[in-house]
Amino acid sequence: MGVFLGGESSEREVSLRTGAAAVSALRRLGYQVREVDIRGDWLAGIRDSGVDVAFLALHGRFGEDGCIQGALELARIPYTGSGVAASALSMSKVLAKRIAASAGVPVAADALYEGETVSSPPPTGFGFPLVVKPDREGSTVGVSIVRSPEGWAQALAEAAKFDSRVLVEAYIPGREITVGILNGRVLPAIEIVPKSGSGFYDYRSKYTSGQTEYVIPVPMDRDILVRAADCTRKAAAALSLRGAARLDYRVDPAGNLFFLEANTIPGMTETSLLPKAAKFDGLSFDELVEEILDDAGLGK
């Protein structure tokens, strides 16, 4: 078996940590595991890996967007997580939102900027603040909250550094929750409470120890959490998600829920959100890893 980790996306360091945790768990479970760092000639890396099953611990471009999944399909190596189409669709925030909305899941109003220059005006009818983000990036890379017209051009230019498609959304005030799903089983929600003055869950808040509080169980009306679980089932089914995934939401002060995005290969360090939710639901980290492995396959 091989744990595919690292990669060349902006999330490489996070992927290395996810992969190391998965390797340790699989070895504790008695599996013979080889670490496969996918970089450089990654097609040769797959061909020469000599593995019979791939546990995917890659985040971002080439690892979470259907590329590695397609290569593994061609190589006939079973792999964990979602298939080619589900991975590609979920990597695009705007496409994931469109598909989730078609299944009755509420989403924030948005506009897509594709190939425009930094001189493009902000969308009409939204007002400020706005959220500006690369369409196909993760870990909040290139994301800005724009609170006035003066910050618009800089935010658009920053997002465009990472993707030719930029998604602009109406800002949803309130709280942020995330809901994991494991082989069709919805896990308890976790509330994300950044400690920064802005309350923005940015890269530093995500990956710097002590910068964010993660609250489980979530102190929120049960009706909202039931709706979040239902939306997670609907969105996961519509996107054809497999194995482990994590879906993020905003909840406004009136209790309205808005789907943000789906993560098809969530972080899997022992302090990551999916393992926290699984632990609260009675699954140890090693049991979680084995359940993800149990769903490995082809033709998803």
What is the tens place of the pLDDT at every residue in 158-174? Answer: 998 888 899 999 999 99
Closest by CA to 182, choosing from 125, 244, 229, is 244
Residues taking part in catalysis:
11, 139, 207, 246, 248, 261, 263, 267
Q: What is residue 43's predicted lDDT score, i.e. its pLDDT?
A: 84
What is the tens place of the pLDDT at every residue in 115-140? Answer: 766 668 899 888 899 999 999 876 57
Sheet holding 144-146, edge to edge: 110-114, 165-170, 130-134, 144-146
Strand partners, 179: 247
Q: What is residue 205's predicted lDDT score, i.e. its pLDDT?
A: 44
Contact of 228 with 175, CB cutoff 8 Å: no
Percent with pLDDT over 90 in the chain? 72
pTM: 0.90
What is the tens place of the pLDDT at every residue in 92-117? Answer: 999 999 999 999 999 999 999 987 66
Higher pLDDT, 208 or 113: 113
Mean pLDDT in the chain?
Answer: 90
Structural domains in the chain plus CATH codes: 2-81 (3.40.50.20), 88-107+172-294 (3.30.470.20), 110-170 (3.30.1490.20)
Q: What is residue 264's predicted lDDT score, i.e. its pLDDT?
A: 96
What is the tens place of the pLDDT at every residue in 40-49? Answer: 888 888 888 8
